[in-house]
Amino acid sequence: MKYLLVETEIEKFWIEIGIDGYANRQIVIDEFKKIHISCLEDCLAEGFIDENNLEGKTTWLTKKDFDSIWNLVISDYLLIWSQIKIRYPIGKHIKGMCKYFYPQGAIIKGKDYIAVYKGKEKLQLNQYVQLKVVRYDDVNMWLIVG
């Protein structure tokens, strides 16, 4: 993994880049100083990230630096995440809609949760699905479903 901070005149991006060259996690502070995190909304950089062709000032980070910022940003959501895990134990069937695709899989949104599916069935955008909770992704606060 590689970790970058990219700063433009109006925005900041903290990006975790996988060995495949695609973003896995991202934090954005927009021009209005609003924070966006890829585990809760569709704000992950799309496509291959060419580290030598990014706009703005680029600073390499350590995993520890990135995780420190990530954990600070998601800290407000950890109580909600613990409640979601209680409501949706492993083995429970959930219903939701495929909203977008990330390198980790299809992102499914339900009324009060976000899940990721990376199975054999090819999902379509806005497809309604019923799947089973198989484990948890505590880093992204996602249910992992199959």
Tell me what pLDDT residue 2 has. Answer: 97
* 142 within 8 A of 114, measured Cβ to Cβ: yes
8 contact partners, CB below 8 Å, separation of at least 6: 55, 56, 57
Contacts of 125 (CB under 8 A, 6+ apart): 98, 99, 100, 101
The tens digit of pLDDT for each residue in 40-99 reads 999 999 999 998 889 999 999 999 999 999 999 999 999 999 999 999 999 999 999 999
CB proximity list for 80: less than 8 A, separation 6 or greater: none
- Of 3.30.470.10, 1.10.260.40, 2.60.40.10, 2.40.50.140, the CATH number of 88-145 is 2.40.50.140
Q: What's the whole-number average pLDDT of the chain?
A: 97
Tell me what pLDDT residue 143 has: 99
Total-model pTM: 0.91
Q: Which of 38, 32, 31 is nearest to 14 (CA)?
A: 38
What SS3 class is residue 49?
A: coil
**Which pLDDT value is given to residue 40?**
97
Residue 52: the pLDDT is: 86
Alpha helices in 4-143 (DSSP H): 63-74, 78-87
CATH 2.40.50.140 residue ranges in the chain? Answer: 88-145
**pLDDT digits over 10-31, tens only?**
999 999 999 999 999 999 999 9
- pLDDT surpassing 90 at residue 100: yes
Q: Is 51 left (phi over 0), alpha (psi -120 to 50) or beta?
A: alpha
